[in-house]
């Protein structure tokens, strides 16, 4: 118990500092965990409570993702969303997989690494767009939709990988069945739900918490992982009053997710072997491959490679979802690699997001300076 208090206290300090410097907090929570945990000072070890809290963090993160996922919105914006999404998926997934496989990971491990490598941090991308006042840029809109597309791919990935030994068709049918039941419940119970959410006593928050936990606990009986259950709940609840649910679930998500990040750091164990070379290559490629997909998307959607630079700047950071994948399916070695990738890309990503406009201007000016020289030479 003292461990979790110490960890939370450290997170509080880190949150204050990172807010003040306006840099993302997630990499520092993980670093904090590493320092406190097995790989560092050994002051904190994970226990039953921290495991439970971490699990809550993951569940609420995915519930939140489900709430924000409105399939009809994606259909309304289909062409642009799908184009950018498919470019992003292919470039990063393939590059990530090939790199991981060549660096000595097994096929299954390489798939896990590739998925963590592919998925950018929605939280960091959106925060950086808002904080750096880039909402009006057309590239920002592309990035926002890209994040939604990535969430969809993550769900498909989670479905495929968590099916395990079960028959995939039966498994998918079960998930769709659960989704249908929840949808019907949300549809017929809509007025009841809204009447509960409108109250100003403790009921809305209690209801939200209980609904998420109850749904998660059903996973045991159905053979569907908790993750899929809560995403389905989020998607179904999104048809009622998603903003109210977000508001009531946010305190749980915020606190539990921080525990999740810091204890992910705590459980990282370097004794399982650490290959700095592998980690360095993966981190470097994680940045380069998003540049490639960003530039291709920029050309395809905005007709400009420089637009791609802006997209790149905001999508470098890997974060919450990469860690979720590492925690759910990664071996210790995969976990360490993904942790390093998240830390490096999110710190670099916060700078590229801040300075992407300057980088862009720099390139334009550089181009202008160069061209007169060229003309002088040509004139001779």
Partner 1 sequence: MSAMSLRSLNLPGVGTKYEFETDKGDTVAIFFTKTGTIQMYTLQKGCKTPSAAEMTPVEARRLGNILTGAIIEADQESVEIAFSALADLRVTIHSFLIPKSITGRTIEDLQIRTKTGATVIAVCRHDRNIVNPAPTFVFENGDAALVIGESDQIKRFEREIMVD
And the tokens for 336? 């360490």
Q: Which of 133, 40, 14 is nearest to 339 (CA)?
A: 40
CA distances from 120 to 60, 227, 258 (A): 18, 19, 18
Give the range of 10-18, 122-130, 156-164, 265-273 binding partner 1 by CB under 8 A: 122-130
Angle (CA) 183 184 190, round 5°? 85
**Count of residues in contact with partner 1, rule CB under 8 A:** 19
Q: Is 145 in the site for partner 1 (CB under 8 A)?
A: yes
Q: Is 73 in the site for partner 1 (CB under 8 A)?
A: yes
Residue 136 DSSP SS3:
coil
State how far the Cα of 134 lies from the Cα of 150, in Å rounded to an integer.
21
Give the range of 15-23, 53-61, 83-91, 134-142 binding partner 1 by CB under 8 A: 134-142
Give the range of 14-22, 63-71, 89-97, 101-109 binding partner 1 by CB under 8 A: 63-71
Q: Of these, 16, 17, 108, 133, which contacts partner 1 (CB under 8 A)?
A: 133
Q: Is 359 in the site for partner 1 (CB under 8 A)?
A: no
Q: Is 332 in the site for partner 1 (CB under 8 A)?
A: no
Q: Of these, 124, 148, 154, 266, which contacts partner 1 (CB under 8 A)?
A: 148
Q: Which of 246, 274, 307, 221 is nearest to 34 (CA)?
A: 274
Q: Quick check: 320 and 126 in contact, CB under 8 A?
A: no
Compare residues 64 and 97 and give the one whose CB is closer to partner 1: 64
Q: Of these, 6, 80, 126, 300, which contacts partner 1 (CB under 8 A)?
A: 126
Give the range of 12-20, 131-139, 310-318, 330-338 binding partner 1 by CB under 8 A: 131-139
Q: Of these, 18, 55, 141, 240, which contacts partner 1 (CB under 8 A)?
A: 141
Q: Is 15 in the site for partner 1 (CB under 8 A)?
A: no
Q: Is 190 in the site for partner 1 (CB under 8 A)?
A: no
Rounded to the nearest 10°, the torsion over CA 72, 93, 58, 128 is -70
Quote the least distance from Cβ 106 to partner 1, whole Å: 35
Residue 224 DSSP SS3:
coil
Give the range of 44-52, 142-150, 218-226, 331-339 binding partner 1 by CB under 8 A: 142-150
Quote the least distance from Cβ 126 to partner 1, whole Å: 5
CA distances from 321 to 34, 58, 61, 286, 288 (A): 19, 9, 9, 15, 20
Q: Is 135 in the site for partner 1 (CB under 8 A)?
A: yes
Q: Which of 262, 271, 175, 266 is nearest to 226 (CA)?
A: 175
State how far the Cα of 268 lies from the Cα of 33, in Å rounded to an integer.
8
Helix 276-297 / helix 78-102 crossing angle, nearest 10 deg: 160
Q: Of these, 6, 8, 80, 144, which contacts partner 1 (CB under 8 A)?
A: 144
State how far the Cα of 62 lies from the Cα of 157, in Å rounded to an integer.
14
Compare residues 219 and 357 and give the one whose CB is closer to partner 1: 357
State how far the Cα of 96 lies from the Cα of 111, in Å rounded to an integer.
8
Quote the least distance from Cβ 122 to partner 1, whole Å: 6
Compare residues 58 and 146 and give the one whose CB is closer to partner 1: 146
Question: From residue 230 to residue 259, what is the string marking binding to partner 1 with x (rule CB under 8 A)?
Answer: ----------------x-------------
Q: Residue numbers of the site for partner 1 (CB under 8 A)?
A: 68-70, 73, 122, 126, 129-130, 133, 135-137, 141, 144-145, 147-148, 246, 357
């Amino acid at each position: 118990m003292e461990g979790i208090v110490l960890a939370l206290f450290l997170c509080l300090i880190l949150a204050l500092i990172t807010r003040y410097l306006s840099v993302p907090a997630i990499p520092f929570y993980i670093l904090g965990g590493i320092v406190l945990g097995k790989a560092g000072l050994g002051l904190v070890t994970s226990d039953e409570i921290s495991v439970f809290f971490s699990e809550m963090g993951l569940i609420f993160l995915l519930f939140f993702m489900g709430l924000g996922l409105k399939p009809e919105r994606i259909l309304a914006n289909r062409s642009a969303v799908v184009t950018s999404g498919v470019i992003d998926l292919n470039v990063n997934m393939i590059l990530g997989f090939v790199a991981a496989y060549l660096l000595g990971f097994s096929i299954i491990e390489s798939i896990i690494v590739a998925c963590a490598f592919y998925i950018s941090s929605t939280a960091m991308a959106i925060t950086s767009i808002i904080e750096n006042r880039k909402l009006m840029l057309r590239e920002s809109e592309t990035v926002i939709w890209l994040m939604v597309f990535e969430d969809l791919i993550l769900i498909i990935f989670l479905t495929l990988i968590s099916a395990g030994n079960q028959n995939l068709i039966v498994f998918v049918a079960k998930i769709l069945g659960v989704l249908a039941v929840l949808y019907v419940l949300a549809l017929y119970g809509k007025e009841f739900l809204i009447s509960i959410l409108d109250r100003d006593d403790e009921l809305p928050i209690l209801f939200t918490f209980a609904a998420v936990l109850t749904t998660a606990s059903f996973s045991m009986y159905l053979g569907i992982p908790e993750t899929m259950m809560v995403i389905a709940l989020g998607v179904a609840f999104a048809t009622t009053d998603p903003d109210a649910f977000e508001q009531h679930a946010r305190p749980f998500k915020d606190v539990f997710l921080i525990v999740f990040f810091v204890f992910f750091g705590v459980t990282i164990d370097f004794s399982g072997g650490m290959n700095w070379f592998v980690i360095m290559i993966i981190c470097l490629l994680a940045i380069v491959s998003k540049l490639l997909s960003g530039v291709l998307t920029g050309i395809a959607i905005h007709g400009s490679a420089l637009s791609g630079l802006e997209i790149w700047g905001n999508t470098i950071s890997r974060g919450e979802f990469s860690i979720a994948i590492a925690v759910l399916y990664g071996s210790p070695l995969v976990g360490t690699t993904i942790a390093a990738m998240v830390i490096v890309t999110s710190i670099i990503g916060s700078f590229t997001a801040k300075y992407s406009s300057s980088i862009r201007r720099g390139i334009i000016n550089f181009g202008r300076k160069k061209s007169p020289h060229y003309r002088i030479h040509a004139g001779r």
